[in-house]
Amino acid sequence: MSEQPKKPEVFQEKKSRVGLIFAILAVIIIVQGVKIFMDHEDKLELKEDIAVEESEHAATMQRLNEIQADLELKIVELEKLGGDITELQAAKEEIEKELQNTKKRDKATISRIQNKVSGYEELLVAKDKEIERLAALNEQLYTENKDLKVEANQLNRTINELSEEQLNLQGKIDVASKLAIQNVKVIAVSSRGRESESPFKARQVMQLKVTFNISKNDVAPIEGKQLMMRVMDPQGNVLFDVAKGSGTFFYLGKEEFYTATQEILFDNSQQEVIFFYEKGSNYETGKYEIEVYTEDYKMGTGSFEIK
């Protein structure tokens, strides 16, 4: 009976505990709410950051594509102007690697690429100035070359005219320097050593003796000459015997036979030249022609007759 008055205190204590529990729960709910709110805000901020990063990344990649196109144009222009494209080629290769990289870019990577973009833009500006300088230089060189070409063309015309004159003069000299023969005589030498002039009988001819003088020519140089003599029978056939020194030579691009040949030194003294030829068989009756050649031209002709 003595403990009953304490019941209100116990009730009061329980009531206080319940209030405390509710207070604690309220604090927990509030804290949890704040946390949820903060988490929500963080997520919104993260989404915004991601959206910004993606936007910056897309803009950066777009700018890289534009810079790549600009670099290709600058490379072509500089190559035409003869400039150095090493830096532009290196930058283009770096950009190609960045564009081929499909990995997700973080903020730091995007920032690094943006810094490179700034560097590429500065490079493009510098190369624009170089292109302007080279274009101006090339224009100056083009003008100078044009003037030089005009002068060169005038000089070439003068040279061509002089060359043509020289060729004409050389042609005249070549014609004028050709040697000719004169005083052609054909003598028949018998077996007894007797000499007789044309016409003569076949039995009188054991050996032909052909003599002539080389005409004076002050244009022709003093030099050695090979002379070829052709003796042609009445039918136009060349008397030919390899054993007696006959052979062939080229005249007007065609191979021809000669009867006899000898080397002389032309000394412009109207020197006399003598050819001996022994046929070894009887001559047919009729008129025989004699032609003398040197190099690629005919020096002169003669004839004799067999009765």
Residue that the structure tokens 């005589």 belong to? 185
Residue that the structure tokens 């973009």 belong to? 117
- Mean pLDDT computed over 275-292: 92
DSSP type of residue 203: G
Distance of CA 118 to the CA centre of its chain: 42
| Greatest mean pLDDT range, 124-128, 216-220, 289-293 | 289-293
* Neighbour-count burial for 10-40, b at 16+ CB within 10 Å, e otherwise: eeeeeeeeeeeeeeeeeeeeeeeeeeeeeee
Instruction: For residues 255 and 247, give the distance between their C-alpha atoms in angstroms, rounded to a whole number.
Output: 10
Instruction: Name the more confident of 300 and 104.
Output: 300
Paired with 301 in beta bridges are 291
Residue 1 pLDDT level (bands cut at 50, 70, 90): very low
- Decide if 304 contacts 232 (C-beta within 8 A): no
Residue 81, SS3? helix
From first CA to last CA, the distance across the chain in angstroms is 200
Question: What is the model's pLDDT at position 231?
Answer: 96
Instruction: For residues 93 and 95, give the distance between their C-alpha atoms in angstroms, rounded to a whole number.
Output: 5
Q: Helix 107-176 and helix 7-81: axis angle, to 10°?
A: 0
User: Does 4 have pLDDT greater than 60?
Assistant: no
- Mean pLDDT computed over 219-225: 93
Q: Verify cis geometry, omega within 30 degrees of 0, for the bond prior to 221.
A: no
- Decide if 199 contacts 307 (C-beta within 8 A): yes
- Mean pLDDT computed over 229-243: 94
Average per-residue pLDDT for the chain: 83
194 Cβ partners below 8 Å, 6+ apart?
Answer: 204
Residue 211 pLDDT level (bands cut at 50, 70, 90): very high
User: Does 167 have pLDDT greater than 50?
Assistant: yes
- Mean pLDDT computed over 250-268: 94
Per-residue model confidence as pLDDT tens digits over 80-133: 888 888 888 888 788 877 777 756 666 677 777 777 777 878 888 887 888 888
Instruction: Name the more confident of 47 and 37.
Output: 37
Domain map (residue ranges) of the chain: 4-127, 181-306
Question: What is the model's pLDDT at position 267?
Answer: 94
- Mean pLDDT computed over 261-265: 95
Paired with 87 in beta bridges are none
Paired with 140 in beta bridges are none
Question: What is the model's pLDDT at position 48?
Answer: 63
Instruction: Name the more confident of 173 and 282.
Output: 282
- CATH class of the structural domain 181-306: mainly beta
* Neighbour-count burial for 219-240, b at 16+ CB within 10 Å, e otherwise: ebeeeebebbbbbbbeeeebbe
